[in-house]
Protein backbone atom coordinates (compact mmCIF):
# COMPACT_ATOMS: atom_id res chain seq x y z
CA UNK A 1 0.00 0.00 0.00
CA UNK A 2 1.18 3.54 -0.79
CA UNK A 3 2.96 5.14 2.16
CA UNK A 4 1.63 8.50 3.43
CA UNK A 5 3.55 11.60 2.39
CA UNK A 6 5.42 13.62 4.98
CA UNK A 7 2.65 16.22 4.76
CA UNK A 8 0.19 13.65 6.12
CA UNK A 9 2.11 13.30 9.40
CA UNK A 10 1.34 15.57 12.33
CA UNK A 11 3.69 15.88 15.34
CA UNK A 12 2.04 14.67 18.55
CA UNK A 13 3.54 15.65 21.92
CA UNK A 14 2.60 13.02 24.48
CA UNK A 15 2.64 13.44 28.26
CA UNK A 16 5.99 11.63 28.34
CA UNK A 17 7.41 13.88 25.63
CA UNK A 18 6.17 17.01 27.43
CA UNK A 19 7.76 15.93 30.71
CA UNK A 20 11.04 15.17 28.95
CA UNK A 21 10.98 18.55 27.22
CA UNK A 22 10.31 20.33 30.53
CA UNK A 23 13.23 18.53 32.14
CA UNK A 24 15.51 19.14 29.16
CA UNK A 25 14.81 22.89 29.13
CA UNK A 26 14.40 23.26 32.92
CA UNK A 27 11.05 23.98 34.52
CA UNK A 28 11.88 27.53 35.65
CA UNK A 29 13.57 28.38 32.35
CA UNK A 30 10.56 27.10 30.42
CA UNK A 31 8.14 29.12 32.54
CA UNK A 32 10.19 32.28 31.96
CA UNK A 33 10.09 31.53 28.23
CA UNK A 34 6.33 30.94 28.35
CA UNK A 35 5.78 34.18 30.29
CA UNK A 36 7.78 36.04 27.64
CA UNK A 37 5.84 34.37 24.81
CA UNK A 38 2.47 35.17 26.41
CA UNK A 39 3.51 38.75 27.09
CA UNK A 40 4.60 39.17 23.46
CA UNK A 41 1.19 38.00 22.27
CA UNK A 42 -0.60 40.25 24.77
CA UNK A 43 1.27 43.18 23.20
CA UNK A 44 -0.42 42.36 19.87
CA UNK A 45 -3.80 41.52 21.41
CA UNK A 46 -5.89 43.36 18.76
CA UNK A 47 -4.57 40.99 16.06
CA UNK A 48 -6.38 37.98 17.57
CA UNK A 49 -9.85 36.58 17.10
CA UNK A 50 -11.42 36.63 20.55
CA UNK A 51 -14.44 34.83 21.89
CA UNK A 52 -15.43 33.50 25.31
CA UNK A 53 -14.73 29.81 25.58
CA UNK A 54 -17.47 27.45 24.47
CA UNK A 55 -18.56 25.70 27.67
CA UNK A 56 -20.79 22.71 28.35
CA UNK A 57 -21.72 22.79 32.04
CA UNK A 58 -23.12 20.00 34.16
CA UNK A 59 -23.84 19.64 37.84
CA UNK A 60 -20.45 17.97 38.35
CA UNK A 61 -18.16 19.95 36.09
CA UNK A 62 -17.53 21.62 32.77
CA UNK A 63 -16.06 20.72 29.36
CA UNK A 64 -14.77 23.62 27.28
CA UNK A 65 -13.25 24.53 23.93
CA UNK A 66 -10.94 27.57 23.80
CA UNK A 67 -10.20 28.78 20.21
CA UNK A 68 -8.29 31.74 18.79
CA UNK A 69 -6.28 32.79 15.74
CA UNK A 70 -3.86 35.55 14.82
CA UNK A 71 -4.63 35.17 11.11
CA UNK A 72 -1.51 33.08 10.48
CA UNK A 73 -2.07 30.20 12.87
CA UNK A 74 -5.13 28.83 14.64
CA UNK A 75 -5.17 27.07 17.98
CA UNK A 76 -7.68 25.54 20.31
CA UNK A 77 -7.67 23.69 23.60
CA UNK A 78 -10.09 21.08 24.87
CA UNK A 79 -10.21 21.23 28.68
CA UNK A 80 -12.42 19.99 31.48
CA UNK A 81 -12.90 20.99 35.10
CA UNK A 82 -14.35 18.33 37.40
CA UNK A 83 -13.61 19.00 41.10
CA UNK A 84 -15.11 15.67 42.15
CA UNK A 85 -12.54 13.76 40.11
CA UNK A 86 -10.07 13.93 43.00
CA UNK A 87 -12.30 11.64 45.05
CA UNK A 88 -12.04 9.11 42.23
CA UNK A 89 -8.27 9.38 41.95
CA UNK A 90 -8.54 11.42 38.73
CA UNK A 91 -7.22 14.83 37.69
CA UNK A 92 -9.53 17.80 38.21
CA UNK A 93 -8.32 19.32 34.93
CA UNK A 94 -7.18 17.52 31.77
CA UNK A 95 -6.54 19.02 28.37
CA UNK A 96 -5.14 18.65 24.88
CA UNK A 97 -4.54 21.24 22.18
CA UNK A 98 -4.14 21.66 18.43
CA UNK A 99 -2.12 24.22 16.46
CA UNK A 100 -2.99 24.65 12.77
CA UNK A 101 -1.88 26.60 9.69
CA UNK A 102 -4.54 29.13 8.63
CA UNK A 103 -3.37 29.09 4.99
CA UNK A 104 -4.12 25.37 4.51
CA UNK A 105 -6.23 24.45 7.53
CA UNK A 106 -3.84 21.58 8.20
CA UNK A 107 -2.90 20.86 11.83
CA UNK A 108 0.81 21.33 12.49
CA UNK A 109 0.90 19.94 16.05
CA UNK A 110 -1.25 18.09 18.55
CA UNK A 111 -0.17 18.21 22.18
CA UNK A 112 -1.12 17.10 25.62
CA UNK A 113 -2.07 20.19 27.60
CA UNK A 114 -2.69 18.97 31.13
CA UNK A 115 0.92 19.69 32.05
CA UNK A 116 1.18 22.56 29.56
CA UNK A 117 -1.92 24.25 31.00
CA UNK A 118 -0.38 24.15 34.47
CA UNK A 119 2.79 25.70 33.06
CA UNK A 120 1.03 28.43 31.08
CA UNK A 121 -1.36 29.26 33.93
CA UNK A 122 1.55 29.78 36.29
CA UNK A 123 3.50 31.70 33.64
CA UNK A 124 0.51 34.00 33.06
CA UNK A 125 0.13 34.60 36.81
CA UNK A 126 3.79 35.52 37.11
CA UNK A 127 3.64 37.75 34.03
CA UNK A 128 0.69 39.64 35.54
CA UNK A 129 2.45 39.94 38.90
CA UNK A 130 5.54 41.34 37.16
CA UNK A 131 3.38 44.24 35.96
CA UNK A 132 1.05 44.65 38.96
CA UNK A 133 2.72 43.44 42.19
CA UNK A 134 4.94 45.61 44.40
CA UNK A 135 8.42 45.69 42.90
CA UNK A 136 10.00 44.49 46.15
CA UNK A 137 7.61 41.53 46.58
CA UNK A 138 9.50 38.57 47.99
CA UNK A 139 6.82 36.62 49.89
CA UNK A 140 3.81 34.86 48.38
CA UNK A 141 0.92 33.18 50.15
CA UNK A 142 -0.36 30.13 48.27
CA UNK A 143 -3.94 29.38 49.34
CA UNK A 144 -4.89 26.02 47.87
CA UNK A 145 -2.05 23.52 47.58
CA UNK A 146 -3.36 21.25 44.85
CA UNK A 147 -2.06 20.42 41.38
CA UNK A 148 -1.32 24.02 40.38
CA UNK A 149 0.45 25.19 43.54
CA UNK A 150 4.05 24.17 42.85
CA UNK A 151 3.90 25.62 39.33
CA UNK A 152 2.61 28.93 40.68
CA UNK A 153 5.35 29.13 43.32
CA UNK A 154 8.19 28.35 40.91
CA UNK A 155 6.89 30.71 38.23
CA UNK A 156 6.73 33.55 40.78
CA UNK A 157 10.28 32.71 41.85
CA UNK A 158 11.64 32.58 38.31
CA UNK A 159 9.81 35.62 36.90
CA UNK A 160 9.27 37.89 39.92
CA UNK A 161 12.03 36.93 42.34
CA UNK A 162 9.83 35.51 45.11
CA UNK A 163 11.97 34.02 47.88
CA UNK A 164 9.39 32.61 50.31
CA UNK A 165 6.08 30.85 49.81
CA UNK A 166 3.61 30.42 52.67
CA UNK A 167 1.29 27.45 52.14
CA UNK A 168 -2.25 26.78 53.33
CA UNK A 169 -4.89 24.24 52.35
CA UNK A 170 -7.93 22.89 54.19
CA UNK A 171 -6.35 19.47 53.56
CA UNK A 172 -3.04 19.26 55.49
CA UNK A 173 -1.95 16.40 53.22
CA UNK A 174 -2.03 18.76 50.24
CA UNK A 175 0.21 21.22 52.07
CA UNK A 176 2.65 18.44 52.99
CA UNK A 177 2.71 17.32 49.36
CA UNK A 178 3.40 20.84 48.09
CA UNK A 179 6.10 21.50 50.69
CA UNK A 180 7.83 18.23 49.85
CA UNK A 181 7.75 18.94 46.11
CA UNK A 182 9.21 22.43 46.61
CA UNK A 183 11.98 21.28 48.95
CA UNK A 184 15.43 22.03 47.56
CA UNK A 185 14.15 24.33 44.80
CA UNK A 186 15.47 27.59 46.20
CA UNK A 187 12.40 28.79 48.11
CA UNK A 188 11.81 29.14 51.82
CA UNK A 189 8.64 27.15 52.37
CA UNK A 190 6.41 27.77 55.39
CA UNK A 191 3.43 25.51 56.05
CA UNK A 192 0.59 27.35 57.78
CA UNK A 193 -2.37 26.13 59.81
CA UNK A 194 -4.75 28.94 58.83
CA UNK A 195 -5.17 31.23 55.80
CA UNK A 196 -4.64 34.28 58.01
CA UNK A 197 -1.24 32.92 59.01
CA UNK A 198 -0.32 32.35 55.35
CA UNK A 199 -1.26 35.86 54.23
CA UNK A 200 0.56 37.59 57.09
CA UNK A 201 3.52 39.46 55.59
CA UNK A 202 2.82 38.33 52.01
CA UNK A 203 3.00 40.90 49.21
CA UNK A 204 1.41 38.49 46.71
CA UNK A 205 -1.57 36.28 47.58
CA UNK A 206 -2.48 33.51 45.15
CA UNK A 207 -5.74 31.61 45.55
CA UNK A 208 -6.24 28.38 43.62
CA UNK A 209 -8.93 26.09 45.01
CA UNK A 210 -11.03 23.53 43.18
CA UNK A 211 -14.55 23.46 44.64
CA UNK A 212 -17.22 24.64 42.20
CA UNK A 213 -19.13 26.97 44.53
CA UNK A 214 -19.41 30.54 45.73
CA UNK A 215 -16.70 30.41 48.38
CA UNK A 216 -14.90 32.95 50.54
CA UNK A 217 -11.29 31.85 50.62
CA UNK A 218 -10.08 35.38 51.33
CA UNK A 219 -11.97 37.76 53.61
CA UNK A 220 -11.47 41.50 53.56
CA UNK A 221 -9.52 41.61 56.82
CA UNK A 222 -6.89 39.23 55.36
CA UNK A 223 -5.83 41.67 52.63
CA UNK A 224 -3.71 44.64 53.65
CA UNK A 225 -2.80 47.68 51.60
CA UNK A 226 -0.25 47.31 48.81
CA UNK A 227 -0.95 43.60 48.23
CA UNK A 228 -1.32 41.97 44.82
CA UNK A 229 -3.92 39.20 44.60
CA UNK A 230 -3.66 36.53 41.98
CA UNK A 231 -7.12 34.88 41.90
CA UNK A 232 -6.82 31.69 39.85
CA UNK A 233 -9.45 29.28 41.18
CA UNK A 234 -12.62 31.19 40.30
CA UNK A 235 -12.94 30.23 36.64
CA UNK A 236 -16.55 29.36 35.86
CA UNK A 237 -20.06 30.62 36.64
CA UNK A 238 -21.00 29.99 40.27
CA UNK A 239 -17.39 29.62 41.44
CA UNK A 240 -15.57 32.38 43.34
CA UNK A 241 -12.90 32.67 46.06
CA UNK A 242 -12.84 36.30 47.24
CA UNK A 243 -15.22 38.26 49.45
CA UNK A 244 -16.97 40.98 47.47
CA UNK A 245 -15.57 43.70 49.77
CA UNK A 246 -12.05 42.90 48.51
CA UNK A 247 -13.17 43.51 44.94
CA UNK A 248 -14.74 46.84 45.84
CA UNK A 249 -11.42 48.28 47.05
CA UNK A 250 -9.13 46.71 44.43
CA UNK A 251 -7.88 47.79 41.06
CA UNK A 252 -9.13 44.87 38.96
CA UNK A 253 -7.26 43.57 35.91
CA UNK A 254 -8.67 40.90 33.59
CA UNK A 255 -7.89 39.01 30.42
CA UNK A 256 -11.09 39.28 28.33
CA UNK A 257 -14.01 41.05 30.03
CA UNK A 258 -16.86 39.24 28.23
CA UNK A 259 -15.49 35.94 29.59
CA UNK A 260 -14.33 37.17 33.00
CA UNK A 261 -17.66 38.82 33.84
CA UNK A 262 -19.29 35.40 33.44
CA UNK A 263 -16.62 33.24 35.08
CA UNK A 264 -14.34 35.35 37.28
CA UNK A 265 -14.52 36.97 40.68
CA UNK A 266 -16.21 39.96 39.06
CA UNK A 267 -19.35 37.89 38.42
CA UNK A 268 -20.18 39.14 41.94
CA UNK A 269 -20.20 42.77 40.74
CA UNK A 270 -22.44 44.94 38.60
CA UNK A 271 -21.93 44.33 34.85
CA UNK A 272 -20.54 47.84 34.37
CA UNK A 273 -18.05 47.74 37.27
CA UNK A 274 -14.79 49.17 35.85
CA UNK A 275 -11.95 46.78 35.06
CA UNK A 276 -8.72 47.14 33.07
CA UNK A 277 -7.64 44.62 30.44
CA UNK A 278 -4.13 43.36 31.23
CA UNK A 279 -2.98 43.63 27.62
CA UNK A 280 -3.59 47.38 27.79
CA UNK A 281 -1.16 47.70 30.70
CA UNK A 282 1.49 45.67 28.87
CA UNK A 283 0.99 47.67 25.68
CA UNK A 284 1.28 50.98 27.58
CA UNK A 285 -2.34 51.96 26.95
CA UNK A 286 -3.50 51.83 30.59
CA UNK A 287 -1.86 52.21 34.01
CA UNK A 288 -1.04 49.21 36.17
CA UNK A 289 -0.27 49.70 39.87
CA UNK A 290 -0.76 53.38 40.68
CA UNK A 291 0.35 53.57 44.31
CA UNK A 292 2.20 51.80 47.10
CA UNK A 293 -1.00 51.19 49.10
CA UNK A 294 -3.16 50.08 46.17
CA UNK A 295 -4.59 46.55 46.22
CA UNK A 296 -4.32 45.05 42.74
CA UNK A 297 -6.28 42.00 41.65
CA UNK A 298 -5.60 39.84 38.61
CA UNK A 299 -8.93 38.09 38.10
CA UNK A 300 -7.48 35.21 36.11
CA UNK A 301 -9.83 32.77 34.39
CA UNK A 302 -7.53 31.62 31.59
CA UNK A 303 -7.96 32.75 28.00
CA UNK A 304 -7.36 31.07 24.64
CA UNK A 305 -4.55 33.43 23.60
CA UNK A 306 -2.44 32.11 26.50
CA UNK A 307 -2.92 28.54 25.24
CA UNK A 308 -2.13 29.67 21.70
CA UNK A 309 1.11 31.25 22.94
CA UNK A 310 2.04 28.08 24.82
CA UNK A 311 1.32 25.81 21.84
CA UNK A 312 3.36 28.02 19.49
CA UNK A 313 6.28 28.10 21.92
CA UNK A 314 6.27 24.32 22.37
CA UNK A 315 6.07 23.88 18.58
CA UNK A 316 9.18 26.04 18.18
CA UNK A 317 10.93 24.21 21.02
CA UNK A 318 10.31 20.80 19.41
CA UNK A 319 12.68 21.46 16.54
CA UNK A 320 15.58 18.99 16.54
CA UNK A 321 14.51 17.40 19.86
CA UNK A 322 12.75 14.30 18.54
CA UNK A 323 10.35 14.65 21.47
CA UNK A 324 7.22 13.91 19.48
CA UNK A 325 5.51 11.12 17.60
CA UNK A 326 4.43 11.45 13.98
CA UNK A 327 0.73 10.68 13.60
CA UNK A 328 -0.66 9.59 10.24
CA UNK A 329 -3.92 11.51 10.50
CA UNK A 330 -4.39 13.50 7.29
CA UNK A 331 -5.70 11.72 4.23
CA UNK A 332 -3.32 12.58 1.40
CA UNK A 333 -4.44 11.07 -1.95
CA UNK A 334 -2.29 11.48 -5.06
CA UNK A 335 -5.21 13.37 -6.59
CA UNK A 336 -6.89 15.66 -4.01
CA UNK A 337 -10.23 15.03 -5.80
CA UNK A 338 -9.92 11.25 -5.52
CA UNK A 339 -10.30 10.50 -1.83
CA UNK A 340 -12.32 7.37 -2.58
CA UNK A 341 -9.48 6.16 -4.78
CA UNK A 342 -7.27 5.89 -1.68
CA UNK A 343 -9.66 3.34 -0.27
CA UNK A 344 -9.79 1.47 -3.58
CA UNK A 345 -6.00 1.23 -3.72
CA UNK A 346 -5.87 0.08 -0.10
CA UNK A 347 -8.52 -2.52 -0.92
CA UNK A 348 -6.49 -3.80 -3.87
CA UNK A 349 -3.30 -3.90 -1.81
CA UNK A 350 -4.99 -5.86 0.97
CA UNK A 351 -6.39 -8.35 -1.55
CA UNK A 352 -2.98 -8.95 -3.15
Q: Average pLDDT per run of 10 along the chain, which is 352 residues long?
A: 62 98 98 98 98 91 95 97 89 95 97 97 98 97 96 98 97 97 98 96 92 76 95 79 94 96 92 97 97 96 97 95 94 92 93 86
Kindly report the number of other CB atoms within 10 A of residue 242's CB atom. 28
**pLDDT for residue 132:** 98
- Clarify whether 299 is annotated catalytic: no
Burial group, residue 217, by CB count within 10 angstroms (0-12, 13-18, 19+) = buried
- The DSSP secondary-structure symbol of 277 reads E
Specify the 3-state DSSP secondary structure of 206: strand
- Distances in Å between the Cα of 24 and the Cα atoms of 181, 211, 257, 337 are 19, 34, 37, 44
**pLDDT for residue 24:** 97
Degrees to nearest 5, angle at CA 329 with 327 and 333: 125
**pLDDT for residue 1:** 40
Domains 6-115+306-341 and 122-303 share a fold: no
**pLDDT for residue 8:** 76
Question: Are residues 131 and 102 in contact, defined by beta-carbon separation less than 8 angstroms?
Answer: no
**pLDDT for residue 211:** 64
d(CA 74, CA 99): 6
Of 128, 124, 176, 172, which is closest to residue 151 (Cα–Cα)? Answer: 124
**pLDDT for residue 215:** 74
Report domain extents, the chain: 6-115+306-341, 122-303
**pLDDT for residue 212:** 61
Q: Which CATH number fits domain 122-303: 3.90.480.10, 2.40.240.10, 3.40.50.720, 1.10.490.10?
A: 3.40.50.720
The catalytically annotated residue of 235, 299, 334, 338 is 235
d(CA 162, CA 177): 20
Beta-carbon contacts of residue 118 (< 8 Å; ≥ 6 apart): 147, 148, 151
Q: What is the CATH number of domain 6-115+306-341?
A: 3.30.1780.10
pTM confidence score:
0.93
Amino acid sequence: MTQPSRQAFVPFVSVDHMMRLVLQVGIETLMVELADAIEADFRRWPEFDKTPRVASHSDIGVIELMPTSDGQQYGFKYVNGHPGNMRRGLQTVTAFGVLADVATGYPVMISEMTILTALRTAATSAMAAKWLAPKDARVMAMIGNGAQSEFQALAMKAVCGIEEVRLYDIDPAATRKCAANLAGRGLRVTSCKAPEEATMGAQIITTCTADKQYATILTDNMVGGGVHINAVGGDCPGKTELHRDILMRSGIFVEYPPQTRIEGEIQQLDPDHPVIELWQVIAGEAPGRTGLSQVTLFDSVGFAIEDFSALRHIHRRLQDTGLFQELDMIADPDDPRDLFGMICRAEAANAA
